[in-house]
């Protein structure tokens, strides 16, 4: 009998097989986690923490409740807003997706949040073994073209030195603070514009990457490199996740055979960079307009010791040292080029000297002539029920 068992073992080795014990079925299987002893609620807490809806401190009960975090996630992903860990919410959590958090900081606020130039360079540091290198390069060219077709941006590949967007394939810990999680789950992530790692795009090399036809339809077999790259490059030029399910910037992966960029994505990139059809029209300033005749201003705030009055793309300022002396009007974009015509509110941080401007659900932060933004109010932890500040 022992000889028979030995021969069986040798046969298994010869066939390249190995016997493994049966694994207990997990209570719920999340992306990248084949088995887990954790309950659905514990796995949900890990998911909510990973994507910015809840912090480690919150998990100890010191901040936002799990129910509130679930409600925020459901709002962000366009799910039925129950605040409960229901079946549709669990299914959403199981869906392969982008690794960039939906809420909170992904080394974003330190970046420039949009490029200050339109001729963007990129460099491919390595390639996945799943596809030929020239096929991967072509997929990246097509993914960048998604954005260059609707904006003034251009993308040029370089083969040495530091590019604006450095692209790499990596597994697990791959050189940044955000490790991948193995097959499925986190597919890729990218950073917003800026220096260093900012602007870079990373793809999980444990995934099976395809051209976007055939087996890619069954996501357990592979993922469209073109679609995932187009999404990540959206982050690399400054776009956040969208709550519109059909938008490219929606965080969850889905395969689309005949891809067309959604209007929500178009509006996002053109909000940052314009349409590419010429300079944005400026608001004409009437030098004879009198601030004293304006019945209601869009916003009034004190900046550098002077009161500023904003209205319809222009502003006036009054010095406290010279009562009654009003300068203006001045076009807003002459002083703060990134700002829109309508300013809902503004304030200056007296400690840091940063100036915060708010318009609708967007805000900008100026430090001298350097601007961060626009970003959504959710970056400040403000819910989507607030339309403006």
CATH number of the domain that 356 lies in? 2.110.10.10
**Annotated binding-site residue? 385:** no
Residue 389 has which token pair?
């500040």
- Of the candidates 214, 238, 273, which is a domain's last residue? 273
Q: What pLDDT score does 95 carry? A: 77
Annotated ligand binding at 298? The verdict is yes
137 is in an annotated binding site: no
Strand partners, 252: 97
Which among 115, 154, 155 has a CA at the least distance from the CA of 137?
155
pLDDT value of position 133: 92
Query: Residues 307, 238: one domain?
Result: no
Domain boundary among 239, 273, 307: 273
Q: Is 10 annotated as a binding residue?
A: no
Q: How many distinct structural domains can be found in the chain?
A: 2
How far apart are the C-alpha atoms of 337 and 294, rounded to whole Å?
Answer: 24
Query: How far from 358 is each of 89, 200, 314, 347, 366, CA to CA, in Å?
Result: 32, 28, 15, 9, 12
Are residues 156 and 263 both part of a single domain? yes
d(CA 102, CA 17): 42
Q: Is 17 annotated as a binding residue?
A: no
Does 303 show up as a binding residue in the annotation?
Answer: no
Same domain, residue pair 173 and 254: yes
Residue 209 belongs to some domain of the structure: yes
Structure tokens at 318: 């009054």
Do residues 259 and 164 share a domain? yes
Nearest Cα neighbor of 268 from 229, 299, 230, 227 is 230
Query: Is 181 labeled as ligand-binding?
Result: yes
pLDDT tens, residue by residue, 305-332: 889 999 888 898 887 666 666 788 888 8
Do 251 and 165 fall within a single domain?
yes
Inside any domain, residue 29: no
**Could you tell me if 247 and 124 lie in one domain?**
yes
Q: Known binder of ligand: residue 202?
A: yes
Q: Encoding tokens for residue 298? A: 């869009």
Whether 229 is covered by a domain: the verdict is yes
Can you give the pLDDT at residue 9? Answer: 39
Distance CA 268, CA 283 (A): 21
- Tens digit of each residue's pLDDT (9 = 90 or more) over 20-38: 333 332 223 334 443 455 6
Residues of the chain with pLDDT under 50: 1-35, 58-59, 62-63, 106-112, 215-217, 278-285, 287-288
Task: Please tell me whether residues 187 and 213 are part of one structural domain.
Answer: yes
In a domain, 171, yes or no: yes
Are 365 and 232 in a shared domain? no
Question: What token pair was written down for 108?
Answer: 């974003």
- Domain membership of residue 64 (yes or no) is no
> Rounded to an integer, what distance in angstroms lies between the CA atom of residue 219 and that of residue 232?
18
Report residue 242: phi and psi, to 5°: -105, 150
Instruction: State whether 165 and 202 are in the same domain.
Output: yes
The answer on 342 and 247 residing in a single domain is no
Q: Is 249 annotated as a binding residue?
A: yes
- Give the domain extent around 347: 291-380
Residues 125 and 262 in one domain: yes
Closest CA to 364 of 352, 347, 351: 347
Note the maximum CA span of the chain.
Answer: 106
Cα atoms in the 13 Å half-sphere on the side-chain side of 155: 25
| 295 and 206 part of one domain | no
Q: CB within 8 A of 9, min separation 6: which ones? A: none
Contact (CB, 8 A) for 115 and 238:
yes
Domain-located, residue 9 = no
Q: Is residue 303 part of a domain?
A: yes
pLDDT at residue number 323: 61
CB 117 within 8 A of CB 156: no
Enzyme catalytic residues? 232
């Amino acid at each position: 009998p022992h000889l028979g068992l030995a021969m069986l073992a040798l046969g298994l080795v010869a066939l390249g097989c190995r016997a493994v014990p049966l694994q207990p079925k997990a209570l719920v299987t999340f992306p990248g986690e084949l088995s887990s002893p954790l309950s659905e609620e514990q796995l949900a807490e890990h998911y909510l923490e990973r994507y910015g809806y809840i912090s480690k401190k919150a998990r100890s009960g010191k901040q936002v409740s799990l129910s509130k975090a679930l409600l925020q996630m459901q709002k962000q992903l366009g799910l039925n807003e129950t605040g409960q860990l229901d079946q549709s919410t669990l299914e959403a959590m199981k869906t392969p997706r982008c690794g960039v958090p939906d809420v909170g900081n992904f080394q974003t606020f330190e970046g420039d949040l949009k490029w200050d130039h339109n001729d963007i360079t990129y460099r491919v540091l390595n390639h996945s073994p799943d596809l030929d290198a020239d096929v991967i390069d072509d997929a990246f060219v097509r993914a960048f073209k998604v954005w260059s077709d609707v904006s003034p941006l251009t993308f040029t590949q370089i083969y040495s030195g530091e590019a604006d967007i450095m692209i790499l394939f990596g597994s697990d810990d791959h050189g940044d603070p955000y490790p991948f999680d193995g097959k499925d789950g986190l597919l890729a992530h990218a950073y917003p514009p800026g220096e260093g790692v900012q602007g870079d795009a990373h793809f999980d090399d444990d995934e099976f990457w395809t051209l976007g036809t055939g087996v890619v339809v069954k996501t357990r077999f592979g993922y469209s490199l073109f679609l995932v790259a187009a999404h990540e490059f959206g982050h690399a030029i400054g776009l956040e996740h969208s709550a519109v399910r059909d938008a490219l910037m929606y965080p969850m992966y889905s395969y689309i055979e005949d891809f067309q960029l959604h209007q929500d994505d178009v509006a996002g990139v053109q909000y940052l960079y314009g349409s590419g059809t010429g300079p944005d029209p400026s608001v004409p300033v009437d030098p004879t307009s009198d601030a004293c005749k304006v019945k209601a201003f869009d916003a009034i705030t004190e900046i550098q010791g002077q009161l500023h009055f904003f209205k319809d793309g222009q502003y006036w300022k009054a010095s406290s040292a010279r009562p009654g002396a009003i300068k203006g009007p001045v076009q807003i974009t002459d002083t703060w080029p990134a700002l829109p015509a309508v300013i809902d509110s503004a304030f200056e941080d007296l400690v840091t000297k940063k100036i915060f401007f708010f318009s609708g659900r967007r805000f900008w932060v100026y430090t001298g002539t350097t601007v961060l933004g626009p970003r959504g109010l959710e970056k400040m932890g403000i819910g989507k029920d607030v339309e403006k500040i």
